[in-house]
Chains A and B, each alone.
Chain A
Amino acid sequence: MSEGRIKVRIKFSKHGVMRFIGHLDIMRYFQKVFRRAEIDIAYSQGFSPHQIMSFAAPLGVGMESDGEYMDVELCSINSSEDIVNRMNEQMADGMQVLSARVLPDGASNAMASVAAAGYYIRFRDSFVPPQGWRKVIEDFMSQEQILVTKVTKKSEIQMDLKPGIYDFKVSSHDCTDCLYLMVNASSSGNIKPAMVLEEVYKMLDIPFDSFQLLITREDTYLNVGTDEKPEFLPLDLIGEIV
């Protein structure tokens, strides 16, 4: 970060039709938001200067979120509230800026900080297995290992999902029954929620259709504990409202 610049972490939500706008287009969208909102954002040097921004864990197309983050560098700032208000005046339907916090010097960027993400999962056809979700999750999590094959462009690797599932339970978020799943979202061990559900369906021996899932990311977390004893806190826990 250059001298005199203010690093700000912005939290936003993404709902409705905006779930079909992919990560790169969301970046382009925000670049234009900053220009329309006339926020004093910092630019890189060079022939075609670009805004300095970094996003935490990109969200898959089709998912909604209440906890997305990006870090930006500003040259000046009036107040957190001013940033939030100005940006919200420029939002497309479905997007909302929730907070803007100034990060302390030396804080690592949003992308590098991400350790986990929480998701609410609903089912389009309100599917509930006969034995009930509580029992299914219990059975699922009592497995020693949950091996999956991850197919990448270069290779196929075997991976155990189990250590990356930090929480899996029935929840009643927004007064509707749904599942809550918290998984590893770090760049090295990222787990997609659909991967976990696919394994659950396999265990139940019913065909899996990812379009049945309605997934909302609840928040994105950093780990303030250790690898062995993780302690997760939302990404906006650091930094302060100015």
Chain B
Amino acid sequence: MSELALTDDILMQVEKPARYIGNEINSVVKPSFTVDIRMAMCFPDVYEIGMSHLGIQILYDMFNSWDDVWCERVYSPWPDLDKIMRERQIPLFGLESQEPIKYLDFIGITLQYEMCYTNILQVLDLAGIPFYAKARTEEDPIIMGGGPCAYNPEPIADFFDFFYIGEGETKYREIFDLYKENKEKGGTRIDFLKKICSIQGVYVPQFYDVTYKEDGTIGSMLPNIPEAPVHVTKNMVEDFDRVSYPMKPVVPFIKCTQDRVVLEIQRGCIRGCRFCQAGQLYRPVREKDVDTLKRYAVEMLKNTGHEEISLSSLSSSDYSKLPELIDFLIQSCGEKKVNISLPSLRIDSFSLDVMNKVQDIKKSSLTFAPEAGSQRLRNVINKGLTEENILHGAQMAFEGGWTRVKLYFMLGLPTETSEDIAGIGDLANKIAATFFDVVPKEKRREQIQIVVSTSFFIPKPFTPFQWAPMCSAEQFLDKAYETRKGITSQLNQKRIKYNWHEADVSVLEGVFARGDRRVAKVILSAYQKGCIFDAWSEYYRNDLWMEAFEENQVSIDFYNTRIRSLDEILPWDILDCGVSKEFLKREWENALQEKVSPNCRDKCNGCGAMKYGCGVCVADRSIYNDEETIAKTGEVLA
């Protein structure tokens, strides 16, 4: 093990020194002279969050499986260390080598949520790398970005050399080969960036010029070199069953958010909820074979020693072989005393039975995400869950001994009225009433507890709601107030607890989600004023952000509350995420007409993802509709 980058006195005074020392089980150290490419994967948040991210584990494993590449990890130093590093001018280092990341060939930054944007600048700053891609020299690493926020990278486009659009497993080998070739020939970084424009999914922001109209909207966004394509198309794993998956994920020493084996059972989602970006970006849904998953589970538990395993997917209940997989896990994990943690499944007899086996009912709660308070609005958002489904599910659960229910809603959805908001309190009340109906007094082990949580709706790119105006902070808070009033006026209000999100952060997230390149300077000024870790409420400084917007004369309303016309050029229009704009428009119209659309398994909606020729688009739909599967997975509850 090489020397640590931080001295003992520093490590002894910061919180959780284990965040910075590397050496974890299954972390990879290679002799640096044996590799051609040195890189780091970065999650711009604290170690415990970053280490819990499956995507980085997948890519870290894939990169290190290549003999000519050594991939390290780097996370945002927590504010305590951040301060010391600035004072003592210690450059940011990779966990594995403990060497400055400034000297690496690549740094790949994963963009999982908008509120990490100032942390990207923190990482670059501490590393000693210029913020702007155009200011970087041949000595600096190539900064690449990927992940869901890369689907509208414009607000941070100036800070990146290139974005990788789509699933990471597919094109990095080609990119690295071109890098080596370019280096051998003595090419510059610009030569390299030009070369990789020919690779699907590569978006090099500096090769595109944006012009704006008088009203502030985009006039054009066009390549400024012949090599850059007019549209950049996302990459997608077509053979999802055989794509590489980390059999030896890194095992942290300290407790992390995700401290368990994670089995990704499928990617994508069949249900096009209209507010949901993930549901569109990862189309079409693709499953892993159940036998593959069984093998992975055994091997990964053996290689990590984790005491828990969980399933990962957008909507696990839709996995076609779920009962078989869970039976297997219950059996083999039971022997090894491994806990199974289930992601929120649709509540039905099957899931209740399973939860009963793997969790302590007394401690667990039921989760429903109706997202909207009325059937009308649920139709608008295409959320197939009905009140009848929920009450029936709750009834079964109460009979089975559960007493805690969590309900998730969104406020500020398109077309929302006061009646829709009133529906939230009504529904919570009906659930409480169901409890009193089905559980006789003498059998009430515990009182019913309902927790209602609301978040604020933020329109996201590549969803049918990408054109929708977003509410202002005041409107959001009015709606939260109305929701609370609706709850406190209920008969069973004492049994219902209500939580809502911060409105300020949602407003900011809205700007970043649909912003353009003019937002970059706001992010840089906010960072320079001291904003980092914006996703952490204790560090979030709304006052500084507002100052940054004002000083740079960037209007929040322009990005959030303005009504966009369907023919406006959107900042992310040069990207092609697989679903067509026509489809999104059609779905937007359907939403306004309160019409629901079927899920991909019932019927294809012609979203455009068919061109990838895989997954549910080409599957024989009868396999999903066989009687036994329906009976087991309980299709009653969509």
Interface residues of A (CB under 8 A from B): 16-18, 20-22, 25, 28-29, 31-36, 38, 43, 47-49, 61-62, 90, 92-94, 124, 210-211
Contacts and interface: CB of A to CB of B under 8 A. Distances in A.
B189 to A, nearest CB: 34
Contact of A29 (B8, B253, B360): B253
A227 to B, nearest CB: 35
B336 interface: yes
A36 B302 CA distance: 5
29 contacts: A17-B1, A17-B23, A20-B11, A20-B17, A20-B21, A21-B18, A25-B254, A25-B255, A28-B255, A32-B25, A32-B251, A32-B304, A33-B305, A35-B302, A35-B306, A36-B25, A36-B304, A36-B305, A43-B337, A48-B339, A48-B360, A62-B12, A92-B23, A92-B253, A93-B1, A93-B23, A210-B12, A211-B8, A211-B12
B307 to A, nearest CB: 7
Contacts of A94: 1, 23
Given A25-B18, A35-B336, A92 B305 contact: no
The listed residue with most B CB atoms (<10 A of its CB), out of A35, A49, A94, is A35
A38 B253 CA distance: 19
B22 interface: yes
B121 interface: no
A28 B256 CA distance: 12
B48 to A, nearest CB: 12
B298 to A, nearest CB: 12
Given A28-B255, A31-B307, A32-B306, 13 more contacts: A20-B17, A20-B18, A20-B21, A25-B255, A31-B305, A32-B304, A32-B305, A49-B337, A62-B11, A90-B305, A92-B23, A92-B253, A93-B1
The 9 closest A-B pairs by CB, nearest first: A32-B305, A35-B305, A211-B9, A36-B305, A20-B17, A17-B21, A47-B360, A49-B337, A25-B253
Given A92-B25, A211-B9, A35 B307 contact: yes
B201 to A, nearest CB: 37
B24 interface: yes
A62 B305 contact: no
Contacts of B306: 32, 35
Nearest to A212: B9
Nearest to A16: B1
B8 A62 contact: yes
The listed residue with most B CB atoms (<10 A of its CB), out of A17, A61, A93, is A17
B123 to A, nearest CB: 22
B305 A34 contact: yes
A94 B301 CA distance: 23
Interface string B270-304: 00000000000000000000000000000001111
A2 to B, nearest CB: 15
Interface of B: 1, 4, 8-9, 11-12, 17-18, 21-25, 251, 253-255, 301-307, 336-337, 339, 360
B623 to A, nearest CB: 36
A17 B18 CA distance: 9
Nearest to B306: A32
Given A31-B305, A34-B305, A17 B251 contact: no
B23 A61 contact: no
Contacts of B17: 20, 61
A38 B251 CA distance: 17
A28 B22 CA distance: 17
A92 B1 CA distance: 11
A47 B364 CA distance: 12
Contacts of B336: 35
A196 B410 CA distance: 60
Contacts of A29: 253
Contacts of A20: 11, 17-18, 21
Contacts of A48: 339, 360
B24 A92 contact: yes
A210 B17 CA distance: 17
Contacts of A211: 8-9, 12
A18 B23 contact: yes
Contacts of B23: 16-18, 92-94
A53 to B, nearest CB: 13
Contacts of A38: 302
Contacts of B337: 43, 49
A94 B22 CA distance: 12
Contacts of A17: 1, 4, 21-23
Contacts of A36: 25, 302-305
Nearest to B339: A48
A17 B98 CA distance: 12
A236 B271 CA distance: 61
B21 to A, nearest CB: 4
B26 to A, nearest CB: 10
A90 B21 CA distance: 19
Contacts of A31: 305, 307
A16 B98 CA distance: 14
A173 B4 CA distance: 25
Contacts of B22: 17
Contacts of B304: 32, 36
Nearest to A44: B337
B405 to A, nearest CB: 21
A216 to B, nearest CB: 13
A181 B1 CA distance: 29
B72 to A, nearest CB: 15
Contacts of B253: 21, 25, 28-29, 92
A38 B336 CA distance: 10
Contacts of B303: 36
A84 B340 CA distance: 30
Contacts of A124: 8
A92 B250 CA distance: 12
Contacts of A21: 18, 253-254
Nearest to A211: B9
B128 to A, nearest CB: 24
B25 to A, nearest CB: 6
Contacts of A34: 305
A207 to B, nearest CB: 14
B560 to A, nearest CB: 43
A61 B4 CA distance: 16
Nearest to B25: A92
A92 B303 CA distance: 13
Contacts of B11: 20, 62
A173 to B, nearest CB: 20
Contacts of A90: 25, 305
The listed residue with most B CB atoms (<10 A of its CB), out of A25, A33, A38, is A25
